[in-house]
């Protein structure tokens, strides 16, 4: 992302691509690729209710069996200079039941290198939608 791409719309589009990339099973199984997105102090509050550290999430993603969901209703709000909150819903069809499973998600992203555009995710939260 270049300095010319620092508009709210460009940042939102960039962070949507980042979130989509992190849902890709090939990326999730590649520790180095996922690491490139996660801040050193990354924390996740999972939809399961568990709290995950950066290292725990890297270990989990490397071995998980995963069907990527679709992203719906993606929103991005710039809450401070170099800080963005993204909120969206992921949806997948449960293979066993055929039911639609939705999860509300939010991520806090920070721009770690100013105008060069290196955005890192610091916090992620997932909550099952009812």
Name the residue ranges covered by the structural domains of the chain: 3-128
CA distances from 39 to 54, 90, 95, 124, 130 (A): 8, 22, 33, 11, 30
At 120 the pLDDT is: 97
At 3 the pLDDT is: 47
Q: What are phi and psi of 65, to 5 degrees?
A: -95, 120
- Residue 100 near residue 123 (C-beta atoms within 8 A): no
Q: What are the residues facing 43 on neighbouring strands?
A: 53, 123
Task: Give, as one character, the DSSP assignment of residue 126.
Answer: E
Q: Which CATH architecture has domain 3-128?
A: Roll (3.10)
- pLDDT 10s digit of each residue in the chain, 130 long? 444 567 999 999 999 999 999 999 999 999 999 999 999 999 999 988 999 999 999 999 999 988 899 999 999 999 999 999 999 999 999 888 999 999 999 999 999 775 556 899 999 999 999 8
Residues in the chain: 130
Q: Which of 71, 54, 91, 66 is nearest to 18 (CA)?
A: 71
Q: What are phi and psi of 61, to 5 degrees?
A: -65, -30
CA distances from 2 to 5, 20, 36, 48, 57 (A): 5, 20, 18, 37, 29
At 76, list the tokens. 């991005």
């Amino acid at each position: 992302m270049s300095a010319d791409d620092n508009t709210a719309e460009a940042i939102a589009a960039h962070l949507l691509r980042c979130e989509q990339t992190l849902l890709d099973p090939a990326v999730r199984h590649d520790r180095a690729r996922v690491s490139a997105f996660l801040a050193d102090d990354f924390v996740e509050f999972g939809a399961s209710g568990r709290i995950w550290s950066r290292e725990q999430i890297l270990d989990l993603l490397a071995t998980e069996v995963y069907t990527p969901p679709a992203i719906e209703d993606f929103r991005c709000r710039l809450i401070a200079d170099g800080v963005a909150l993204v909120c969206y819903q992921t949806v997948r069809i449960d293979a066993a039941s055929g039911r639609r499973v939705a999860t509300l998600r939010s991520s806090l992203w920070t721009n770690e290198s100013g105008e060069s555009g290196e955005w890192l995710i610091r916090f992620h939260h997932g909550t099952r939608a009812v």
